């Protein structure tokens, strides 16, 4: 009888440990799956100290759902870089009608493309064609990339007009089919249809980073 109680105590302890480990493993597995399914998919292109990032919050959606996209230019050097501009501004492809002046751009294509053939593809229209009254666009004679950051200063004749993050972001769930007669007379919006899509991040320095998502 004296041996029964210690044995029972050991069995109870072992059972408790097994139960704890089972539930811990189950919870951890669920968290891992959730984290993995929502992790950012990052494409990167680097040339020296200039790093171009393209981040997608998912690689698979259904029609009507959106893909979160971020394009970022990070300068890892220790001394500023100055970029002289002759025509007053630098406008790269943007998901917004008024564009962006932060030296990065974004395009989306229907189909799977690589750097070897994407120049032959036609980008989708991400905003409704038409006439827009855009907010102030700074006249720029020089850009200054700040060290160890994604910040860029817009300078006009030696005077800093603004300091901005060299980044654009958008949540995209479809595109505009333009009018065949005039691209300025509006169009029809359609959700991304089933298939593979290519997202291209570009910057002023001719760097390109490609990402992909699938609509199922």
Give dist(CA 101, CA 154) in Å, integer.
Answer: 8
pLDDT of residue 41: 75
pLDDT tens by residue, the chain, 216 residues: 444 444 444 444 444 443 433 333 333 333 222 223 344 678 888 889 999 999 999 999 999 999 999 999 999 999 999 999 887 778 899 999 988 889 999 999 999 999 999 999 999 999 988 888 888 788 899 999 999 999 999 999 999 999 999 999 999 999 998 765 555 566 899 999 999 999 999 999 999 999 999 999
Give dist(CA 25, CA 19) in Å, integer.
Answer: 10
Which pTM was predicted? Answer: 0.77
pLDDT of residue 186: 64
Contact criterion met (CB below 8 Å) for 193 and 183: no
- Domain spanning 40-77+89-133+164-215, CATH architecture: Sandwich (2.60)
pLDDT of residue 179: 67
pLDDT of residue 136: 75
Non-local (6+) Cβ contacts of 80 within 8 A are 144, 145, 146, 147
Among candidates 174, 192, 169, which has minimal Cα distance to 128? 174
Give dist(CA 197, CA 126) in Å, integer.
Answer: 13
pLDDT of residue 55: 96
Conformational region of residue 23, where left means phi above 0, alpha means psi within -120 to 50, and beta covers everything else: alpha
pLDDT of residue 13: 41
Every domain of the chain and the residues it spans? 1-38, 40-77+89-133+164-215
Among candidates 165, 170, 169, which has minimal Cα distance to 150? 165
Contact criterion met (CB below 8 Å) for 76 and 49: yes
Contact criterion met (CB below 8 Å) for 85 and 141: yes
pLDDT of residue 154: 95
pLDDT of residue 92: 92
């Amino acid at each position: 009888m004296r041996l029964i109680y210690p044995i029972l105590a050991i069995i109870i302890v072992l059972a408790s440990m097994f139960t704890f480990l089972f539930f811990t493993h189950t919870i951890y597995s669920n968290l891992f799956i959730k984290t993995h399914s929502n992790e950012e998919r990052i494409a990167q292109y680097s040339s020296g100290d200039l790093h171009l990032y393209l981040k997608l919050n998912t690689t698979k959606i259904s029609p009507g759902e959106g893909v979160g996209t971020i394009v970022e230019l990070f300068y890892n050097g220790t001394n500023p870089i100055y970029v002289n501009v002759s025509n007053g501004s630098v406008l790269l492809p943007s998901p917004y009608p008024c564009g962006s002046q932060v030296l990065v751009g974004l395009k989306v294509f229907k189909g799977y493309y690589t750097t070897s053939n994407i120049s032959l593809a036609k980008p989708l229209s991400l905003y409704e064609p038409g006439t827009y009254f855009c907010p102030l666009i700074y006249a720029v004679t020089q850009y200054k990339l700040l060290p160890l950051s994604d910040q860029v200063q817009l300078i006009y004749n030696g005077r800093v007009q603004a300091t901005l993050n060299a980044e654009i972001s958008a949540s995209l769930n479809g595109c505009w089919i333009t009018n065949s007669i005039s691209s300025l007379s509006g169009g029809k919006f359609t959700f991304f249809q089933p298939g593979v899509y290519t997202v291209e991040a570009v910057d002023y320095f001719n760097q390109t980073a490609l990402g992909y998502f699938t609509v199922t």
